Amino acid sequence: MDGQDGIDRWLAMPGARRLVPADADYPSQLAAVGGRPPDLYVLGDVALLSRPQVAIVGSRNPTAAGRRVAAEMARGLVAAGFVITSGLARGIDAAAHAGALNAGGATVAVLGTGPDICYPRDNRPLFERIARGGALVSEFPPGTGPRAHHFPRRNRIISGLARAVVVIEAAADSGSLITASHAADQGRDVFAVPGSPLNPLAAGCNALIRSGAVLARDAADVLAETGRPQAENSHQDQRLVSTQESADGKSRLDKDYEMLLDALGFEPASIDDLVDRTGLSPRTVASMMLILELQG
């Protein structure tokens, strides 16, 4: 799209909006953002921008466990009434967006391109799902392609929209740490999922925790700090909570195994070490280890 004509054509699309700070729908929480965007281009449900949000960000090349943690974190947070916000990048971002939508919740994607351009291209199906069941947001006008400096810049909007930022699997030089830094500057809560000190993808998260970020194993840890948002749609919230409750038994068991596997790390560990690292009882750890050995 070229110039104002291109913007006008995009704004003629159903669900397309251009917000400025004077508009009632412009999210008030962005007032705390340095360099508040003078324009926000939104495709989808603009009301989501003013609802309570938690941002989930992390590695573009995560482990399978990291993707699962992101999806389950998103599922637990939408069940509590939060909208999930992220940046539509590969990896943790995509897993968080999809986790929210798959749980029947809503998600906001803050783009480093114009609102009409999907980047990376292989996230196109997710891009379209978010346009239908969430909101695509950009400070860049339609037709703006991906540029390296846009992505760190948009991170201040991700954190600015949210009450809290959760970082999952971030290396020491991860761009997710920029989002966490913005969040701290903006007075948002910062959470990080810990990992083995031998795992390079845990280096950034472990450093955040050492610097004062709150350790988060799951959505319950986040909710213990943030509390639950006021229910704005009691019928939907009850449906989501019911879905969450029906899966609690299996989810808790899966989380214990994930925690145990993470505690095993990359080197041998005794039962006592695993008890210390997981907080599980010696009998539980021994039983789970036996099952894991039998399963290969």
CATH fold of 3-242 reads Rossmann fold (3.40.50)
Question: Which pLDDT score is estimated for 44?
Answer: 98
pLDDT (tens digit per residue) in 203-224: 999 999 999 999 999 999 999 9
Decide: 82 and 109 in contact? Cβ < 8 Å: no
Question: Which pLDDT score is estimated for 283?
Answer: 66
**Phi-psi label, residue 15: left if phi above 0, alpha if psi -120 to 50, beta otherwise:** left
Domain boundaries of the chain, sorted by first residue: 3-242, 247-295
Rounded to whole angstroms, how far apart are CA atoms 90 and 230?
31
Reported confidence tier of residue 32, pLDDT bands at 50, 70, 90: low
Q: Where are the alpha helices (DSSP H) in 211-247?
A: 219-226, 234-246
How far is CA 292 from each of CA 227, 254, 258, rounded to the nearest angstrom? Answer: 35, 12, 11
